Chains A and B, each alone.
Chain A
Amino acid sequence: MELIEKANEEAIRRMLGAEPVLIDVVPAGEIVPDLQDKMILHAGPPLEWDRMCGPMQGAIAGITVFEGWASDLEQAVDMASSGDIAFDANHHHDAVGPMTGMTTVSQPVMVVENKIIGNRAYCAINEGLGKVMRFGGNDEEVLNRLAWIRDVLGPAMGKALKDMGGIELKPLIARGLSMGDEMHQRNVACSGLVLRAIASAMARTSDDTTALSESLAFISANDQFHLNITMAMGKAIMDPVRNIEGSSIVTAMSRNGTDFGIRVSGTGDEWFTAPVEMPEGLYFAGYSEADANPDMGDSTIVETIGLGGFAMGASPAVAGFVGAGAASEAANYTYRMGEICAAENPEWTIPSLDYLGVPTGIDIRLVVDSGIAPTINTGIAHREPGIGQVGAGVVRAPMACFEQAVRRLAANLGLS
């Protein structure tokens, strides 16, 4: 017990002590460790092609064409299903990606460095809403947008960030919370804050006003632009928390549309998986639950650091996705998540909850003991490949993951 408490104190110290800074945008092939040609990193714990859900397969087909490994989607599917393409989890390469979470060599990734340790984490640039690759979209419009991000936006952001010396993310998140973002389903404030921070540097480092204008317009039009930055930040914060002997703090939660997986500090890099659940939520016009794909994406790293569903109290507008939408109901989500967390974050506070710090450090013991599963805010993809986002809502992390992890941790400590 004492060992666990001490280990968890250390885990919390590392989480709260992190100093994440967005420093650069670089093609993934140049910076993501062990990422090779004809290799696709995806969201969630690792899985084989045959077990992948529709949107995941759709995104893989699309990105295979985008990378030029196949000339069309049909050929791409052949390659993917016959072993010509290597798959691995983003999390195994210091990276994360929302929904399908495609990361491949030519895509630009945002680089967040945790200055206190020096570790880095990577995430691709958010493509916007609707029919996009992260939700399984893969047509020409989707691929053209990715090409523009690769050729125009990514390099422009990279130049600007290097020129301005990066953007410190901890204070930016703190302000975003006070402006009604919970950083998973609602990123409108943080997206605006990032645009404000980067705009002049982008202008200063640009010699193409059309490209500059397009880039600024793209960021301005995307309320979820900051999600991918939040995610890279989350990964940069949590990676140094891995492998503390005895710690029962969750270091990653992630889903691939088939399995939900968690990793726990005291059990190293092992994934504890269980079938993903279906989100509950609201749907865009023309779609319903029948169209929904099960839960997907690395974006649960956001909840792992105390944001998203854990910070719902900061964002009453988002609580509407799950029911009443009363502000008190939003606050209850945050209080409830406080029951399964080891600490509160004194820097990330929620003004309307008397500056309560967001619940920080999910303790698997508290999850299993209380029966309270982490609540995750999420987008909902169409179950078929190629269609995209159809709604948004809330989903619970499966309890079985935490039960397995508790047993393993106990075994590691010689307690079982």
Chain B
Amino acid sequence: MEVTLNIVFQGFYKDSVALMRLSRDLAALDGVNEAGLMMGSPSNKQILKDAGLLADEGAAAEGGDLILAIRANDSAAAQKAAETIEPQIKSQTRSADGDTEWRPQTIRAAAKANPGANLALISVPGEFAAAEARKAISRGLNVMMFSDNVSIEDEISLKIQAREEGVLMMGPDCGTAILDGVPLAFANQVKRGDIGIVGASGTGIQEVTSLISNNGRGVSHAIGVGGRDLKDEIGGVSTLMGIDRLDADTATKHIILISKPPGEKVLPRIMDRIAQSAKPFTVCFIGATDLELPTNATAARTLKDAAQAALGGGEFEQSESVGTSLPESRKGIRGLYSGGTLAAESQLILLDAGLPVASNAAVPGAVGLSENNEAHQIIDLGDDQYTQGRPHPMIDPEIRHEPLADAMADSTIGVILIDIVIGYGAHPDPAGQLVTMLDDLRGENGPAIIASVTGTELDPQVRSSQIKALEAADIHVAESNADAALAALRLLGVNS
């Protein structure tokens, strides 16, 4: 039988909003049909009466008394509900939900809250990215646009607007930058120094800056420009502005350019700009051949070459050879890369050794994956076909699982090449993740696994810890991505 229970707390005051919230919680308890918590003023008692909640005890309450009123299925349910809510009524503790920190939701508000800020990092879906970038640029902010899927037309107009405002437009699809020692998006914590970089490639910048830092020098700024900047449609607007900035920067003594080969019309403009500078340049246009460079510039074939050249041309410490031998039948190389430019670098090294190479992101000289079944396969797992609807392999290395299982099961493969990219934005423990993945896939006499770790000791994942974990799992770790490819060649008895 339905019962109405009133409990009166004499001379107990609580704010009406707090009471309404408690009433809501009380009414939601098991067996409770209706509930109210109100101070005992005449108008409140009327409200309780109208709701069928007022019993004799409540009716006798004074204005300064708190009435707890419950209508429940039976008196046991009513008692239980009252006992449940009573500690909350008497509790003096603050709201359990706690503090929430305000974060600006618009560029306008963020800029207002941080008057000294001079850069906006834009990482919203591509269809909205250009509009946000325009707002940032018109506020005089440099822009790093992580977003991709931005049209060529928008990219051109944004870069022209940025040039007019005198700010950098880095991107769209700019994954990496280091400005004033601050790593942005996917970037590594490198030592500061006098080498400046302008790059259209994220992992290219990561590999080169890490190699510089790991070999005793440092980076002034690494300016990303987005993968399309040196295409003829865009005209290298951001690359040229990036060179201007580094050329004017007294802390920068040497400038490295990293990109795929530029468009025909852009190339001479870049060369002219280099020639105007008094600073030495290293130009690493991955896959380009026969570059005619101004006298203050040297060409680098690979990322490692670029880092070495910037450091004066001496050879970095070489990795030791892999201490195993392979059966005659295992002759193939399979590269499973998370970094597109790292995959490109490895292709070049294999091609330079005279090997046939196939790739889903083929450099000049390599072919598409389906075009030559005999070729060594270098796969860029960051390509759209693998990342459709899932995160990039640098964030979620699980993408590597299926192709890795295929390679491990292939009796013709002698070496699997893998890049481990650490730093901000990357998976917190990619080496550990790879080791766990391999636990289930490894059998007797399988292929050798050769890896390199792009990153530094200062990165959150700590390069040496990642190396240690890989080596403990019998994975050979080379000093650089290029060294990993070279080690694979040596293991297979190919002269490089």
Contacts and interface: CB of A to CB of B under 8 A. Distances in A.
A283 B24 contact: yes
Nearest to B131: A369
Given A286-B36, A339-B104, A372-B105, A329 B97 contact: yes
Interface string A307-329: 00000000001101101111011
B401 interface: no
Interface string A134-155: 0000000000000000000000
A353 B304 CA distance: 53
Contacts of A129: 43
Interface string B104-119: 1110110000000000
Contacts of A328: 99-102
Contacts of A285: 23, 34-38, 47-48, 51, 53, 69
B92 interface: no
A166 interface: no
Interface residues of A, number: 29
A338 interface: yes
A286 B52 contact: yes
A282 interface: yes
Contact of A339 (B18, B23, B108): B108
B47 A130 contact: yes
Given A286-B52, A329-B97, A320 B69 contact: no
Contacts of B24: 282-283
A332 interface: yes
B17 A336 contact: no
Interface string A334-353: 01101100000000000000
A120 to B, nearest CB: 34
A331 B102 contact: yes
B43 A332 contact: no
B21 interface: yes
Contact of B43 (A130, A326, A339): A130
B97 to A, nearest CB: 3
A400 to B, nearest CB: 20
Interface string B242-282: 00000000000000000000000000000000000000000
A283 B97 contact: no
Contact of B102 (A320, A335, A391): A335
Interface string B1-40: 0000000000000010110110110000000001111100
A289 B37 CA distance: 18
B95 interface: yes
Contacts of A326: 94-95, 97-100
A317 B15 contact: yes
A408 to B, nearest CB: 21
Contacts of B21: 282, 320, 325
Contacts of A287: 51
Contacts of A331: 102
B50 interface: yes
B52 A324 contact: no
Interface in A360-376: 366, 369-370, 372
Contact of A324 (B47, B95, B101, B102): B95
Interface in A209-223: none
A323 B24 CA distance: 12
Given A285-B53, A285-B69, A286-B51, A325 B17 contact: yes
Contact of A332 (B36, B46, B47, B100): B100
B47 A329 contact: no
Contacts of A355: none
A335 B52 CA distance: 42
B45 to A, nearest CB: 11
B490 to A, nearest CB: 57
Contact of B106 (A282, A325, A339): A339
A341 to B, nearest CB: 10
A321 B35 CA distance: 17
Interface centre among B18, B24, B50 (most CB of A within 10 A): B50
A118 B471 CA distance: 84
A1 B100 CA distance: 36
Contacts of B109: 335, 338-339
Nearest to B26: A285
B109 to A, nearest CB: 4
A320 B16 CA distance: 10
Contact of B17 (A321, A329, A338): A321
Contacts of B20: 282-284, 320-321, 391
Interface in A370-385: 370, 372
Interface of A: 129-130, 282-287, 317-318, 320-321, 323-326, 328-329, 331-332, 335-336, 338-339, 366, 369-370, 372, 391
Shortest 10 CB-CB contacts between residues of A and residues of B = A286-B51, A285-B36, A324-B97, A282-B20, A320-B17, A328-B99, A339-B109, A335-B102, A326-B95, A370-B106
Given A317-B15, A320-B20, A339-B108, 10 more contacts: A284-B47, A284-B51, A285-B47, A286-B48, A286-B50, A320-B21, A324-B95, A326-B98, A329-B100, A339-B109
14 contacts: A130-B47, A282-B24, A284-B20, A286-B34, A286-B52, A320-B17, A321-B17, A321-B20, A326-B97, A328-B101, A329-B97, A338-B109, A366-B108, A372-B106
